């Protein structure tokens, strides 16, 4: 499926055709570069929580995620203990998945450790792919790449969890390492 025209007359990627949080995310954030460790840790965390769920669910819960994970301050999350884990498991405002919550704490600790080298942002960017061909419809959109597979493997070696190759490809799209928008979408660069 190619771009769809919304009620405002703008052509968009099909998943963002109607008004609401998905369209707002598409129009203002998806595919835009982000900067800073907290922004990268947030996107990495949200992509992991999204696994098996709708992105709309995650976007609706995003303010609560930001609150409970201290705006994705890696040091604050890395210091979480058993009481913090229990508090998160009791908080209905977020996705209460034991493995994903533990992965967030694990990933924060790995992010802090990665500071001794290049840091999370530079590390992820070092796996930037060659610019993929611009897809004309959703059938041409990839769900992983050699670079997302390599990033997944290297993050796992450095102690990260819930960082599979499909999740890492979604991360690369979300943070604008390349332009993920369909040809004809008003947000497509160039």
Domain span holding position 61: 16-174
- What predicted TM-score, i.e. pTM, was given to this entire model? 0.94
Residue 138 has pLDDT above 90, yes or no: no
Q: In which band, very low, low, confident or very high, does the pLDDT at 130 lie, cut at 50, 70 and 90?
A: confident
Residue 153 has pLDDT above 90, yes or no: yes
Q: Which of 42, 47, 121, 147 is catalytic?
A: 47
Q: Is 39 inside a domain boundary?
A: yes
Q: What is the mean pLDDT of residues 161-190?
A: 94
Q: Which of 15, 29, 55, 154 is catalytic?
A: 55
118 annotated active-site: no
CA distance 130 to 45: 25
Nearest residue to 103 via CA among 174, 55, 45: 45
Q: What is the pLDDT of residues 59-109, one digit of tens each?
A: 999 999 999 999 999 999 999 999 999 999 999 999 999 999 999 999 999
Q: Is 180 inside a domain boundary?
A: no
Q: Is 75 inside a domain boundary?
A: yes
Nearest residue to 14 via CA among 130, 144, 167, 140: 140
CB 56 within 8 A of CB 22: yes
Q: Is 54 inside a domain boundary?
A: yes
> Dihedral of the CA atoms 159, 160, 164, 165 (nearest 10)?
-80
CATH of the domain at 160: 1.10.340.30
25 annotated active-site: yes
Residue 132 has pLDDT above 80, yes or no: no
Q: Is 70 inside a domain boundary?
A: yes
Count: domains in the chain: 1
Q: Is 186 inside a domain boundary?
A: no
Q: Is 182 inside a domain boundary?
A: no
Q: Is 167 inside a domain boundary?
A: yes
169 annotated active-site: no
- Residue 182, pLDDT score: 94
């Amino acid at each position: 499926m190619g771009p769809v025209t919304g009620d405002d007359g703008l052509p968009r990627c099909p998943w963002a055709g109607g008004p609401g949080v998905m369209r707002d995310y598409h129009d203002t954030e998806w595919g835009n570069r982000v900067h800073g460790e907290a922004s990268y840790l947030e996107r990495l965390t949200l992509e992991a929580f999204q696994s098996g769920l709708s992105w709309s669910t995650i976007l609706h819960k995003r303010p609560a995620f930001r609150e409970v994970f201290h705006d994705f301050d890696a040091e604050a999350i890395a210091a979480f203990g058993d009481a913090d884990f229990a508090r998160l498991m009791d908080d209905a405002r977020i996705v209460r998945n034991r493995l994903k919550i533990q992965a967030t704490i694990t990933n924060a600790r790995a992010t802090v450790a990665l500071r001794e080298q290049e840091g999370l942002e530079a590390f992820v960017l070092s796996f930037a792919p060659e610019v993929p061909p611009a897809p004309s419809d959703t059938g041409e959109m990839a769900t992983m790449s050699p670079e997302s597979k390599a990033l997944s493997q290297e993050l796992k070696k450095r102690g990260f969890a819930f960082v599979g190759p499909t999740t890492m490809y979604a991360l690369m799209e979300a943070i604008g390492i390349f332009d993920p928008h369909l040809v004809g979408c008003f947000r497509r660069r160039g």
